Amino acid sequence: MTRTQAKNLLPYIAAFAEGKRVDVLSGGNWLPVAENTEFLPGLTYRIAPEPKFRPWTSEEVPMGLCVRAKSLHAWKGIINQAIDDRVCLGVCPAISLADLFKSYEQLTGEPCGRQVL
């Protein structure tokens, strides 16, 4: 591998080392690289785009879902009511769907929203 080839591959290797998803172009399709991959000159790589999310609408809110505060994972609540653009987490006052999206996450770490395709 030449220095120029190494320089060209470096952003993809760094992203991979940081835990980001890196794809390789194969047969016209982008496929995730394997966990024990070798980055080879001559192949086309990309740092996979991060998925984008938006707040749920009141119709999309999964009732009974347990969520946690992003700033304090110890605080958890269950979505037990959705009214217009607000939700109730247990006995706490209702919060807006925008605040739910901004300040809370599902227990899996997924956002409280829907992925935008």
- What sign for the dihedral angle of Cα 102, 108, 113, 117? positive
Alpha-helical (H) ranges within the chain are 3-17, 97-103
Judge if 58 and 69 occupy the same domain. yes
Residue 74 has what pLDDT? Answer: 84
Tell whether the model's pLDDT for residue 93 goes beyond 90.
no
Tell whether the model's pLDDT for residue 97 goes beyond 90.
yes
Judge if 42 and 58 occupy the same domain. no
Q: What is the mean pLDDT of residues 47-61?
A: 93
CB count within 10 Å of CB 111 equals: 20
DSSP label at residue 23: E
Judge if 111 and 57 occupy the same domain. yes
Residues 6+ apart with CB under 8 A from 28: none
Judge if 46 and 13 occupy the same domain. yes
Judge if 41 and 89 occupy the same domain. no
C-alpha Rg value of the chain to the nearest Å: 20
Distance CA 95, CA 82 (A): 10
Report the percentage of the chain scoring pLDDT > 90: 82
Report the percentage of the chain scoring pLDDT > 70: 100
Judge if 104 and 65 occupy the same domain. yes
Structure tokens at 38: 């070798």
Judge if 43 and 67 occupy the same domain. no
The answer to whether the beta carbons of residues 94 and 34 sit under 8 Å apart is no
Provide the number of structural domains found in the chain. 2
Q: What is the pTM of this model?
A: 0.66
Residues 6+ apart with CB under 8 A from 49: none
If you average pLDDT over every residue of the chain, what do you get?
A: 93
Domain hosting residue 21, numbered range = 3-50
Distance CA 100, CA 60 (A): 13
Q: What is the mean pLDDT of residues 10-31?
A: 95
